[in-house]
Amino acid sequence: MALRSLDPVSWLKEEYSKLIDEAARLESHHGELQMITDASKGNISAGGQYGTREIINTCVLDSLLCVLHNCHSKYMAIRELFRCDRTINAIMIFLHMERYNEAKMLWLIQLKLVSRKCTFSICEEVDVRSEVEDHLPMFDDLACAEYHFDEDRASPQISDDLYQSTLSAFECCHGDVKILGLRYTEPCLVLVNVNRRMDRAPQLHITDKYGRTFELQFLLLSNTSDPENHMTGCSKLEDRWVLYDTNPEKPPLDDFNIENADFKSQYVTHLAGYVNTSQAGDKDEHVKDDVPLGILENGSDCGTSTFSSTIMSPSATSNHAHQACSVVEGPMIMLQVSLEKTFFAWTKVNNIRC
């Protein structure tokens, strides 16, 4: 019997609203999410069940949710950033409350709504077999700059300041770069879609032109010894690296020696995540005083301006879902950076603050 499709946009929006409302209720009842210090708490198991619908082949999604949740729990700046995306904020709430089925389904519904490349259907059986890059459109609303490794390496000109100052520092990762932040002068989280291009361990620390330090916080890895390139998540805790694995035949959480791991023949890197961990004392002497030094771990700005909670580019699909931020009248200049050609800007008459 053919599976009955439940893909109509009206159903997706209705179910999306229900999940968003439930997450808001949970947050209202339990208060603001606190940091999780016990890494063994809240391991996400493979698959899922949402109502009558079974979710299968979720290792990519599970690994991504695991590392994002740990990063969210560890850094105040990441929590502030994610709070400005209504969907991701709700997903973090579900993960914190160990409501994993709701977290997965909300992610998949939103991905279906925002990505034209989404190939799976929301049916009685939801097969989420996918590549890491299939899930990256989920971050488009928080992205303030992008760099495409294969297309853009030869195109940036000397006048492209953002490329020269920050994006070029991540060329060593051999991947497409997506900078998440509340504006492009304050990069918070950098996602590098390595996509098997590198046969060595990514750099643990990357420093840009302004002396800002970006620390490696997580990786999505496949192991060549696993069938069908099963995906795992590698995450940095306070004192060690751990490997999250939803394979029931392996420990769900195991220590990982990232410096001695075999990235040439055993582990294949698909995604790397770097957090801007710059401190005021990191500033080099040659950097001018008016250059932004990024976001501190407590969410404040290292430079002269305060932490901004401006959303850069809300998508058209979010009309049915108001952002998790209050709206204040006033003009705002919004910048979206594309290094395929040049910078461009447009004006949006909304100043949005968390």
Would the pTM of this model clear 0.85, i.e. be above it? no
Kindly state the percentage of the chain with pLDDT values over 70. 68
Q: Read off the pLDDT of residues 299-342 as tens digits, 9 standing for 90 and up.
A: 333 332 222 222 333 333 333 333 444 333 333 223 333 333 33
Asked whether the beta carbons of 231 and 60 are under 8 A apart, the reply is yes
State the Cα–Cα distance between residues 184 and 144, nearest whole angstrom: 5
The pLDDT assigned to 221 comes to 94
The pLDDT assigned to 154 comes to 55
Asked whether the beta carbons of 209 and 164 are under 8 A apart, the reply is yes
Amino acid at 285: E
Q: Read off the pLDDT of residues 208-236 as tens digits, 9 standing for 90 and up.
A: 888 889 999 999 999 888 777 689 999 99
The pLDDT assigned to 276 comes to 94
Asked whether the beta carbons of 55 and 104 are under 8 A apart, the reply is yes
Q: 65 CB contacts (<8 Å, ≥6 apart)?
A: 44, 91, 95, 100, 103, 104, 107
The pLDDT assigned to 320 comes to 36
Tens of each residue's pLDDT in the chain, 354 residues: 444 555 578 889 999 999 999 999 998 887 665 544 444 455 788 999 999 999 999 999 999 999 999 999 999 999 999 999 999 999 999 999 999 999 999 999 999 999 888 888 888 899 999 999 999 999 999 998 887 765 555 555 544 666 666 777 787 777 788 999 988 778 899 999 998 877 888 899 999 888 889 999 999 999 888 777 689 999 999 889 999 988 877 877 889 999 999 998 899 999 999 999 984 233 333 333 344 433 333 333 333 222 222 233 333 333 333 344 433 333 322 333 333 333 323 323 233 333
206-244 as b/e, with b when 16 or more CB fall inside 10 Å? bebebbbbbebbbbbbbbeeeeeebbbbbbbbeeebbbb
State the Cα–Cα distance between residues 277 and 300, nearest whole angstrom: 11
State the Cα–Cα distance between residues 20 and 51, nearest whole angstrom: 16
Look at strands 48-50 and 205-207 and give their pairing: unpaired
Token pair recorded at residue 126: 């939801």
The pLDDT assigned to 170 comes to 81
HEC assignment per residue over 186-204: CEEEEEEECCCCCCCCCCC
